[in-house]
Structure 1
Amino acid sequence: MSQAPDPRLYLIVPGTTPAEQLAAAVEAGDVACVLLTDAGRDARQLVEAAQARGVAVLVADDPTLARALGADGVHLNGEAPVKKTRDALGGDGIVGVQCGRSRHTAMVVGEAGADYVAFAGTEDAPDGPADPEALRWWQLMMTVPCVAMGGCTPDDAGRLAQAGADFVALGAGVWDDPEGPAAAVARAQAGLDTLI
């Protein structure tokens, strides 16, 4: 994932999601990447559904599973071994790292070669969306792309992208949306489109 000229969407996808539902969701907006959570070796249909639509697929914390599924990379947590993970992927896989609220961790893994860093939460809401101040700071200081994570809803997409997120990650807010995942992704995309 290279520096995005315009902000894009990133979906956090439960491994039990039906492949046709994932396909509809990624077709509803400019989705750059999906992160499969709780995925097992039976998640190949999800990988294929996303990749067939030009969307990169990552798995959480497991380079061996990523290779077995034919995924594009791995999403790690904290001060993770970026180089070791990339080597386990075969050298050219995507390695992204969840840094929470830690600017220090983001700088360490960014300098270690992470393809992106992800921020989530604020001091007042640790499980909430990324702190816009952290996103702004990162854009001023670094060139590695950043992802806004942490309970982001479709309605958060525009403000987080405006704050400096290259990618806005949507999770449960998409899959639990009363209008369905595709409608939720379309709403998030509409928020991004106002910035372009």
Structure 2
Amino acid sequence: MTTQSSSTRLMLITPPVADAEAMAFRLMQAMAGGDVAAVLLRLSAGDDRSRIERVKRLAGPVQANNVALVVEDNALVAARGGADGVHLTGGPAAVSEARSSLKSERIIGIGALRARHDAMDAGEAGVDYVMFGEPRPDGSLPPLAAVVERAGWWAEIFETPCVAYAPDADSIPALIETGAEFVALGAWAFDEGQDIRALVEQANQAISACAARKTAR
């Protein structure tokens, strides 16, 4: 999960996955649309064994496309399933626990950061990325303007990469302009009837257009 020529790259955040086969098909469609840096896999309820099997089923095809797979909030399932890392939502205090159970080469990212000092604490704890703007536990979203401000502030000052969450396709260009290393397309991108391949293609076109404008300045 690295940047290429300092351009923004895409992260895909799945809805809670119960059927790994169906999600594998959707992810193949998405990755056919162009560059994707990472997939954040959210898993529906189940015992650890069944969840590990779902991770294993998805890790192979995702990683075969040079895309990192991170699992939400379960370092054990992530490690045993062969994922590349874990995405935490339990605050900076969860970082040290995850680090102790994961090998150093695995990714640890963090979201659900409600204040600037939370993000700074997470950065100091050694996370590999911070995420801004994703849905709150009640499903509500922070205002887009606040996410743009927060991502721009972080990208300008800190070396730790940041992920800016796009609540819809229309918000993608504004989030790219912040300089965030990654823009995340949420579960909405996997909605039935959504052409996820075209969405990824259009997002990458927006990234290229932004890079061209910055080069021309």
TM-score by length of 2: 0.80
| Pair 1:30 & 2:41 matched | no
- Taking only the aligned residue pairs, the percentage that are identical comes to 38
Q: Aligned partners of 1:177 and 1:183: how far apart in 2?
A: 14
Q: Aligned partners of 1:126 and 1:27: how far apart in 2?
A: 31
Bigger Cα displacement from structure 2, 28-37 vs 173-182: 173-182
- Cα RMSD of the aligned pairs, angstroms, is 2.2
Q: Aligned partners of 1:103 and 1:3: how far apart in 2?
A: 23
| Pair 1:187 & 2:202 matched | yes
* Structure 1: segments with no counterpart, 5+ residues: none
Q: Aligned partners of 2:71 and 2:93: how far apart in 1?
A: 15
Contact 1:115 1:144 in 2 (8 A): yes
Contact 1:7 1:161 in 2 (8 A): yes
Contact 1:2 1:145 in 2 (8 A): no
Contact 2:86 2:108 in 1 (8 A): yes
Paired residues for 1:56-71 under 5 Å: 56-71=68-83
Bigger Cα displacement from structure 2, 22-31 vs 67-76: 22-31
Q: Aligned partners of 2:192 and 2:25: how far apart in 1?
A: 16
Corresponding residue for residue 173 of structure 1: 188
Corresponding residue for residue 47 of structure 1: 59
Q: Aligned partners of 2:192 and 2:199: how far apart in 1?
A: 6
Partner amino acid, structure 2, of 1:94 = I
Structure with the higher strand share, 1 or 2: 1
SS at match of 1:163: coil
Give the CA deviation at 1:26: 1.7
Corresponding residue for residue 154 of structure 2: 138
Contact 1:33 1:56 in 2 (8 A): yes
Paired residues for 1:1-196 under 5 Å: 1-2=1-2, 5-14=6-15, 15=17, 16=19, 17-38=22-43, 40-43=51-54, 44-77=56-89, 78-120=91-133, 127-128=141-142, 129=144, 131-149=147-165, 152-176=167-191, 178-196=193-211
Q: Aligned partners of 2:85 and 2:194: how far apart in 1?
A: 31
SS at match of 1:182: helix
Distance change >3 Å, CA 9–CA 64, structure 1 → 2:
same
* Structure 2: segments with no counterpart, 5+ residues: 45-50, 212-217
Partner amino acid, structure 1, of 2:74 = D
SS at match of 2:41: strand
Bigger Cα displacement from structure 2, 43-52 vs 175-184: 175-184
How many aligned residue pairs are there? Answer: 193
Contact 1:95 1:116 in 2 (8 A): yes
Q: Aligned partners of 1:12 and 1:36: how far apart in 2?
A: 6
Give the CA deviation at 1:185: 1.5
SS at match of 1:22: helix
